[in-house]
Amino acid sequence: MTKIIYVLNGPNLNRLGKREPQIYGSTTLAEVEALCRTTAGPDVEVRFHQSNREYELIDWIHEAIEAQAAGIIINPAAFTFTSIAILDALKQFDNPIIELHISNVHRREAIYHNSLVSKVATAVMAGFGPRGYATAVRAMAEMT
C-alpha cells in the first residue's frame, strides 16, 4: 500500500532561489519538490503544494485528513507565527506532523521564535536548508 505524505509550503516559498539567497539559498521550490519526490521512492506518494493564501493551506490539511495521509510536512513560513486557523486545522490531523524551516529560526529575530505550529508538531526541523526537505521525507516515511 502506498503511503501519502503531504508537503505543504506557505507564503513566499514560491520565491525560493530568488528571495534572500543568503538565508534560503539558491535552490528553487521546483527543485525542492523534485528532491522530495526522488527521496520518497516508489512506496510513498508525495502531494506537494505551495500557497501564499492561508485558506488554501487549510484546505490541503483538510484534504490530508480525508485522504488518511500518513503524514504532513509543513513549512508554514510566516503563518508559523500568526495562524491560529492553521493550528486548528493541524489539531484535527491524527498522524505525524513535521514542522520544517529552511533557516534556523532561533538564530533570527525574536519575532521568528514563537511557533504556533510547534504546539501540535510531532517533530520540528530548522536550519538544514532546502536539503532538510529530503531529511523530513525520509523521517516521515520511517515514522509512519
H-assigned helices in the chain:
21-24, 29-40, 54-66, 84-91, 132-143
Average pLDDT value for residue range 45-52: 98
Rounded to the nearest 5 degrees, what angle is found at the Cα of 102, between the Cα atoms of 125 and 31?
A: 115
Tens of pLDDT, residue by residue over 132-143, are 999 999 999 999
Selection from 77, 78, 74 nearest residue 89 by Cα: 74
Report the C-alpha gap between 28 and 61 in whole angstroms. Answer: 23
Please give the grid coordinates belonging to residue 68: 488518511
Q: Which residue numbers are catalytic?
A: 24, 101
Average pLDDT value for residue range 117-122: 96
What residues are designated binding site? 75, 88, 102-103
Q: Name beta bridge partners: 123.
A: 98
pLDDT of residue 106: 78
Average pLDDT value for residue range 37-53: 96
The band of 111, judged by pLDDT with boundaries at 50, 70 and 90, is confident
pLDDT of residue 45: 96
SS3 of residue 1 by DSSP: coil
pLDDT of residue 98: 98
**CA dihedral defined by 7, 11, 15, 16, rounded to 10 degrees?**
-40
pLDDT of residue 1: 67
pLDDT of residue 88: 98
Least confident of 41-55, 82-96, 109-123: 109-123
Domains located in the chain, CATH noted: 3-143 (3.40.50.9100)
More confident residue, 52 or 26: 52
Cβ 75 vs Cβ 82: under 8 Å = no
Report the C-alpha gap between 44 and 139 in whole angstroms. Answer: 12
**What value does the mean pLDDT of the chain take?**
93
Cβ 8 vs Cβ 61: under 8 Å = yes
What residues are designated binding site for substrate? 75, 88, 102-103
pLDDT of residue 139: 97
Q: Above 90 in pLDDT, residue 40?
A: yes
